Amino acid sequence: MVRLQLKDIDKSYGPTHALCDFSFTFEPGIYALLGPNGSGKSTLMNIVSDNIPADGGTILFSKDGSPETDVREMNERFRQELGYLPQDPVFYPSFSVERFMWYMAALKRANGQLHGKAGRLAVSSQIDTLLRAVELDQVRRFPISSLSGGMKQRLGIAQAILGNPSVILLDEPTAGLDPKQRVNIRNYISKISQDRIVILATHIISDIEQSARDILILKNGILVDHGSSHELTQKMQGRVWIAQIPESRVDIMADRFRITGISQIGKPEEKMFSVRLIATEKPTEYALPEQPSLEDYYLDVFGDESDLSKSRQKTPTSASGGMPPPFCKKCKHFSTRSYEPK
- Both 131 and 27 in a single domain? no
The whole-number pLDDT of residue 218 equals 94
36 occurs within a structural domain: yes
Structure confidence by residue, pLDDT tens digits, 255-285: 999 999 999 998 998 999 999 999 999 999 9
Q: Which residues of 207-224 are buried (b: 16+ CB within 10 A; e: fewer)?
A: bbbebbbbbbbbbbbbbb
User: Could you tell me what percent of the chain has a pLDDT over 70?
Assistant: 87
DSSP string, 93-157: TTSBHHHHHHHHHHHHGGGGTTSHHHHHHHHHHHHHHHHHHTT-GGGTTSBGGGS-HHHHHHHHH
User: Lowest-pLDDT range, 37-41, 67-71, 114-118, 140-144?
Assistant: 114-118
Same domain, residue pair 74 and 180: yes
**CATH number (domain holding residue 73):** 3.40.50.300
Same domain, 98 and 119: yes
Same domain flag for 137 and 273: no
How many helices, marked H, and strands, marked E, lie in the chain?
10, 14
Residues 175 and 30 in one domain: yes
Among 10-24, 27-41, 323-337, whose mean pLDDT is lowest? Answer: 323-337
Mean pLDDT of 215-235: 95
pLDDT confidence band for 176 (50 / 70 / 90): confident
Whether residue 247 sits in one domain with residue 221: no
Question: Rounded to an integer, what distance in angstroms lies between the CA atom of residue 161 and that of residue 324?
Answer: 37
Query: Are 214 and 262 found together in one domain?
Result: no
- Asked whether residue 254 falls in the same domain as residue 277, the answer is yes
CA distance 253 to 190: 40
pLDDT above 50: residue 316: no
* pLDDT band with cut points at 50, 70 and 90 for residue 333: low
pTM of the model: 0.86
Residue 335 resides in a domain: yes
Q: Residue 329's pLDDT is what?
A: 57
Residue ranges with strand state E in 161-266: 167-171, 197-202, 214-219, 222-227, 240-246, 258-265
Check residue 232 and give left, alpha or beta (phi > 0: left; psi -120 to 50: alpha).
alpha
The answer to whether residue 324 scores a pLDDT higher than 60 is no
- Rounded mean pLDDT, 18-23: 96
Q: Which of 110, 128, 157 is the last residue of a domain?
A: 157
Does 82 have pLDDT greater than 60? yes
pLDDT for 65: 87
Which pLDDT value is given to residue 304? 59
Q: Which amino acid is at 224?
A: V
The pLDDT value given to residue 117? 78
**pLDDT of 104 higher than 60:** yes
Examine the pLDDT at 322 and tell me if it is beyond 60: no
Q: Is residue 24 part of a domain?
A: yes
Same domain, 11 and 74: yes
CA distance 153 to 65: 35
Q: Per the domain annotation, does 87 fall within a domain?
A: no
Do 24 and 147 sit in the same domain of this protein? no
Taking residues 307-334, what's their average pLDDT?
Answer: 44
Residue in 168, 159, 160, 224 with CA at minimum distance from that of residue 196: 168
Query: Do 208 and 324 sit in the same domain of this protein?
Result: yes
User: Who's near 270: CB < 8 A, 6+ residues apart?
Assistant: none
Q: Is the pLDDT of residue 312 over 60?
A: no
Q: What domain range includes position 261?
A: 238-291
Instruction: Summarize the confidence of residues 234-243 as an average pLDDT.
Output: 96
Mean pLDDT of the chain: 87
Q: Is residue 88 part of a domain?
A: no
Give yes or no for residue 311 having a pLDDT over 80: no
299 domain residue, yes or no:
no
174: in domain: yes
Residue type, 198: V
Question: Is residue 302 very low, low, confident or very high in pLDDT (cuts 50, 70, 90)?
Answer: confident
- pLDDT band per the 50, 70, 90 thresholds, residue 206: confident
Q: What is the reported pLDDT for 118?
A: 78
Q: Is the residue at 304 inside a domain? A: no
Total domains present in the chain: 3
The reply to whether 120 and 216 lie within a common domain is no
Lowest mean pLDDT among 74-83, 109-118, 232-241: 109-118
Predicted confidence (pLDDT) at residue 321 exceeds the cutoff of 90: no
Model pLDDT for residues 246-256, shown as the tens digit of each residue: 999 999 999 99
Contact status, residue 280 vs residue 250, Cβ threshold 8 Å: no
For residues 155-170, average pLDDT: 96
